[in-house]
């Protein structure tokens, strides 16, 4: 890949931020249990059951466990170094970033 291949290209992304590390698996299971009744009221038994089964499925829990949350400070340090002159935008639970390579 040539170094000028990305000239004039724009990158945008949204990354979740956290003050704490990735929660233990049981936290997600408890969340699924607590969400079942609200989902039942909102979506009905069939869909609430489907959502619950998905939320406690091994592949989904493994996916959640693989997430690595970073703090806002770590986010600025990492992406500020990788993407010089990028623009950061705090968006609630997430941080948005926009960057354009000019040269």
Closest CA to 18 of 81, 73, 66: 73
Which tens digit of pLDDT belongs to each residue from 71-97?
A: 888 888 988 898 888 888 888 878 888
Per-residue pLDDT tens listing for the chain (103 residues)? 333 444 457 777 777 777 777 888 999 999 999 999 999 999 999 999 999 999 999 999 999 988 877 888 888 898 889 888 888 888 887 888 888 876 6
Q: What is the 3-state secondary structure (H, E, C) of 30-48?
A: HHHHHHHHHHHHHHCHHHH
The pTM is what? Answer: 0.59
| Whole-number pLDDT of residue 3 | 37
| Whole-number pLDDT of residue 43 | 97
Q: How far apart are CA 65 and CA 57, in angstroms?
A: 12
Question: What is Dmax (Cα atoms) for the chain?
Answer: 56
Q: How far apart are CA 28 and CA 41, in angstroms?
A: 20
């Amino acid at each position: 890949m040539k170094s000028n291949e990305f000239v004039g290209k724009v990158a945008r992304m949204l990354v979740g931020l956290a003050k704490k590390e990735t929660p233990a698996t049981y936290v997600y299971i408890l969340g699924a249990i607590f969400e079942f009744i609200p989902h039942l009221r909102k979506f009905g038994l069939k869909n609430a059951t489907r959502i619950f089964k998905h939320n406690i499925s091994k592949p989904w829990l493994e996916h959640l466990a693989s997430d690595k949350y970073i703090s806002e400070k770590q986010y600025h340090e990492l992406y500020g170094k990788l993407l010089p002159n990028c623009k950061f935008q705090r968006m609630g639970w997430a941080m948005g970033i926009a960057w354009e390579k000019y040269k």
